[in-house]
Structure 1
Amino acid sequence: MTQHESTTAWRELLDTLGSLDKAFLEGDRAVSDDRHIADGYRMLATTLGVALDNYLFAEPSRPIWIEVNNPYRRDRRWGGDNTDAYYYMCPVDPKRRYRISGNRGDSVYFSVTAYNEPAPGAWSDRIVALVRDDDLDFDADGNFSFEYGPTDDGVVLMTRDYQADPATGRPVSWRIEALDEPDPIRHGDAETAGALRASAAWLRTMFAIVPLPVGGRDDDKTLGHEFSQGANEFAEPYQVPDANFGWSARDACYSYGSFVLEDDEALVVTHRPPSCRFWNLVVWNQFMATHSAGDGRCSINGHTAERNPDGSVTVVISRGMTEHPNAITTLGYPRGNLAFRWILADEVPARPQVRLVKLADL
């Protein structure tokens, strides 16, 4: 019986899927509660869907935008998402020309970033090009159009669309068309095998990153794993460089932290936002995923937060919800991760300050 290459690749993909849960069940990165174990399997399903969309079903000469993050889709919570933004990806051929068009909707910031791919399925390590809203011309109705390509190695496009309030704002509408004749359709054995192996490589990379560690508390050295800082604090913010691993935004500054909270505790986070187009603070589980916007208030942004008289912003994070106007919730999670992002900041922000308090003392 002839063994097809796609059959071999399919079985390799199944073997990969069958082994990746070791990342969160065993070893130094094993998670410690049943919710995170369940989240691990959801993350496997989510990233498998994204990988197959971008490798098995993609046609770079017949491009379509693939929705990879959406504030309301529970099957698109991955990769450092947030509840204020819509993200689309589109694999493209670097030798081709494309026209990208659409309508800006109610976006407070949007952009298209082109990334390289060091090998099939490997995550980007360099930003190739960036087009953002203030580079474009709009008509009276908010419509835009521009051409992209050819480039040396920009093979994946990612859009970002940040909304002040996704519940009421109109997201950017996106269209893309190839300006050259499409390739013949050929879904053969070799092409399918290559796509399945690229999908498996994508999955392996994701689970080489997650689950994220959670730092230990000063009052409990047994919690958490090795981490650049302890729980209940943030690292120094940084500006994303052009040479970068993954799908970070070139216009962004980031600061990451983690939390370990009892039922009767809260984190009081204070920071002074620099002048910027957009910022938000997001609660993640250890798989860099937040809950859907309709599940609970798990993030807050510069358009919804109330400022202090001195211009700073104080956010209260707890396992439930408090009455503080800038309260967000971990939805009962006792431990997890936190992420600040600032878009088009005029300077790298100062490190956010954190106090661990009892709820009764708020």
Structure 2
Amino acid sequence: MLTGFLLCGHTNQIEEARVVDLTEAKSENIRTWELYCDTLKRAGLQLQRQEAPQDDFNQAEGMRYLSRLARIGLEMFVEGGDEQFPTFMVPSHETAKIGADNPDMGYLAARINGQYTYRVSGLRGSAASINFSTKRGGYDKSGKLEPGGFIDSNSLTFAQDGSFELVISQHPQPGNWLKIAPDSIQLLIRQVFLDRANEKPAQLKIERIDADGKPFPINPGKLRNNLVQAAHFVENTATTFANWAQSYEGHINQLPPADQTLCQSVGGDPNIFYYHSRWQLAEDEALVIHLDRIPNCEYWNIQVNNYWMESLDYRYFRISLNQHSAKPNPDGSVTLVIAHRDPGTSNWLETAGHDDGTMCFRWIGSKEQVHPRTYVVKLNELPLGL
């Protein structure tokens, strides 16, 4: 009888422990969800910044921007947050955009761990160029995405049919190889299209090759951590680029060279020389951007963004031009015009209902930079023949 009593008592203790464990787990999940929601709420403070436009149009666009960042964050950290079994997600596209996303670029990103070895394989597609870079830091932690290893299509070997494999590891590998730093957290892929509507994107997959098995359906602790990371991603991304937009107030309607080191610290392409600024136009004004000549380069483009540094809706408006779509002047120079309505010029960029916003110009693969010259004129004073 005594033994049975002891066994019964032991069983009760186990059951009580299970109840405590379940209660603690439930509380932890609730706390995590509340932290996620509180962090998103705090991200909304970026809409209230004194220098940010406060009209209903721009504020609504800012609110949509935050919702888009939340969607990107969930895709990146919750759905694609397993570095052992990585998958590609699209960090910027037609309806979700970060930091002057380029309408001519196709982006792919995968969460990785610098301690592992990965392989990317597939078909190159028809993009003018494609590059792969490993990144350190992370918007969720520091608001930065610092450079690691880098390789582009100029250095990659492709089969005749465009197929290829790229190994990503700390130590050199035969064939195509990209070095990964021990603290790497992301693989970022950029494809540059000259005529995106008619191009064929690369078909790619990524896999870890120094282990096998299948992912466990869900790891509660990791999920909670990834959800919190997703929220911090929203807050830090919104803050980072709101700071950038604020910094442009000293050169509205100009296009000076950007701080290239700063651009690289948030994930910029090392082959790109960037110009960032803000534009602001009345209904009867036009911003003229003139390039005296085009240096030898792989690519250039100009694009119009909103205040929150999202490219305007390039599905329906012509808000960007590149060397394929812009018409040069007879002397080889190029003149671009940003205006609210069609001024009858060849290289008109639309404002898509915006009175002001940000803008970006890029050179890719140029050993020299021809800086854009800008000036504002009345629409009816635009020179003929532009």
TM-score (norm 2): 0.83
Indicate the residue corresponding to 2:91 in structure 1: 68
The 2-side partners of 1:125 and 1:90 are apart by: 13
Q: Does 1:310 align with 2:344?
A: no
Counterpart code for 1:190? G
Do structure 1's residue 43 and structure 2's residue 46 form an aligned pair?
no
TM-score by length of 1: 0.89
Deviation at 1:292, TM superposition (A): 3.2
Q: Which of 128, 132, 152 is the aligned partner of 1:108?
A: 128
The answer to whether the Cα contact below 8 Å between 1:62 and 1:182 also exists between their aligned partners in 2 is no
Distance in 2 of aligned mates of 1:258 and 1:207? 17
- Which runs of no fewer than 5 residues in structure 1 stay unpaired? 215-224
Asked if 1:354 is matched to 2:374, the reply is yes
Change (3 A) 1:228 1:358: closer
Aligned residue in 2 for 1:283 = 304
What residue is the counterpart of 1:87 in the other structure? 107
User: How many pairs are equivalent?
Assistant: 346
Secondary structure of the corresponding residue to residue 269 of structure 1: strand
Q: What is the deviation of 1:120?
A: 5.7
| Over 6 Å off, 4+ runs | none
Letter of the 1:166 counterpart: R
Q: Tell me the residue number matched to 1:298.
A: 319
User: What does residue 220 of structure 1 align with?
Assistant: none
- Which stretch has the larger CA shift, 120-129 or 191-200? 120-129
The one of 239, 246, 250 equivalent to 1:208 is 239
What is the SS of the residue equivalent to 2:242? coil
1:226 CA drift (Å) = 6.3
* 1:14-34 CA distance string (max 9 Å, x none): 11222322211x232332322
Higher helix share: 2
CA apart distance, 1:229 = 2.8
Structure 2 unaligned spans of 5+: 1-22, 171-179
SS, match of residue 251 in structure 2: coil
Answering whether residue 54 of structure 2 is matched by residue 23 of structure 1, we say no
Provide the residue aligned with 1:159 in structure 2: 189
For the structure 1 residues 86 and 336, does the alpha-carbon distance in structure 2 shift closer, same or farther, using more than 3 Å as the test? Answer: same
Q: 1:212 to 1:339 in 2, by over 3 A?
A: farther
Residue 239 of structure 1 and its aligned partner are, at CA, apart by: 4.4
> Please, which of 335, 344, 360 is the counterpart of residue 356 of structure 2?
335
Contact 2:248-2:277 at 8 Å conserved across structures? no
Identity %: 25
Contact 2:147–2:265 (CA under 8 A) maintained in structure 1: no
For residue 276 of structure 2, the aligned residue among 256, 266, 271 is 256
Structure 2 Cα separation of the partners of residues 34 and 226 of structure 1: 23
Matches within 5 A, 1:187-202: 187-202=218-233
Aligned-partner Cα distance in 1 for 2:261–2:83: 27
Instruction: Give the deviation of 1:78 after TM superposition.
Output: 2.5
Contact map agreement 1:104 1:143 (CA 8 A) in 2: yes
Contact 2:139 2:236 in 1 (8 A): no
Identify if the C-alpha distance between structure 1 residues 121 and 239 changes in structure 2 by more than 3 Å, giving closer, same or farther: closer
What are the superposed Cα offsets for residues 151-186 of structure 1, whole Å, 9 maximum, x if unpaired? 312210111011011111112222212112247526
**Pairing 1:232–2:253 present:** yes
> Which letter maps to 2:159?
D
Q: CA contact under 8 A between 1:31 and 1:211: conserved in structure 2?
A: no
Partner letter of residue 66 of structure 2? L
C-alpha distance in 2 between matches for 1:123 and 1:19: 15
Question: In the alignment, is the contact (CA less than 8 A) between 2:271 and 2:365 conserved in 1?
Answer: yes
